[in-house]
Amino acid sequence: MTPIRAISYLEITLQVNEADREAAAGVYQQYKQPFLDTATGATSKDLLIRDEDVQVLHGFDTAANAQAYLSTELFTRDVVGGLSPFLQADPEIRVYETA
């Protein structure tokens, strides 16, 4: 029997006007590969565009690595800096663990 591997997710929900979603998606695309290449424990990054908001779902090997990513320059300077002009409210940030 293969052991079950826990996965952690960092979910960031963004309030972005529909007219700005293409530009916000460009920020996502710009930093997706650097995130996957440099964020400790990163396993995936997906953009979810919904009628009411935009979500970015980041996969990590542990919740601690997901939480630590929020303090990196890639997140605080690059991603947040790039998205700031498009945000209508503060992002909602949650960390989840699976079993």
- DSSP per residue, 7-25: -EEEEEEE-B-GGGHHHHH
Q: Alpha-carbon distance 59 to 19, whole Å?
A: 28
- Is 3 a domain residue? no
Higher pLDDT, 5 or 32: 32
In a domain, 1, yes or no: no
pLDDT tens-digit readout, 18-77: 999 999 999 999 999 999 999 999 999 999 999 899 999 999 999 999 999 999 999 999
Cα 14 to Cα 87: distance, rounded to the nearest angstrom: 7
In the chain, the number of structural domains is 1
Residue 19 domain flag = yes
pLDDT at 18: 93
pLDDT at 87 over 70: yes
Whether 32 contacts 45, CB under 8 Å: yes
Structure tokens at 3: 């052991």
Q: Are 74 and 42 in contact (CB under 8 A)?
A: no
Residue 91 within any structural domain of the chain: yes
Q: Is the pLDDT of residue 2 over 70?
A: no
Whole-prediction pTM value?
Answer: 0.89
88 found inside a domain: yes
Is residue 21 a part of any domain in this protein?
yes
pLDDT grade, residue 1 (50/70/90)? low
Which DSSP helix (H) or strand (E) runs through 79?
A: none
On whether residue 68 sits in a domain, the answer given is yes
CATH label of the domain that carries residue 23: 3.30.70.100
Sequence-distant (6+) residues with CB within 8 A of 23 are 86
| Residue 31 counted as domain residue | yes
Q: Which one has a higher pLDDT value, 3 or 85?
A: 85
Domain hosting residue 16, numbered range: 8-97
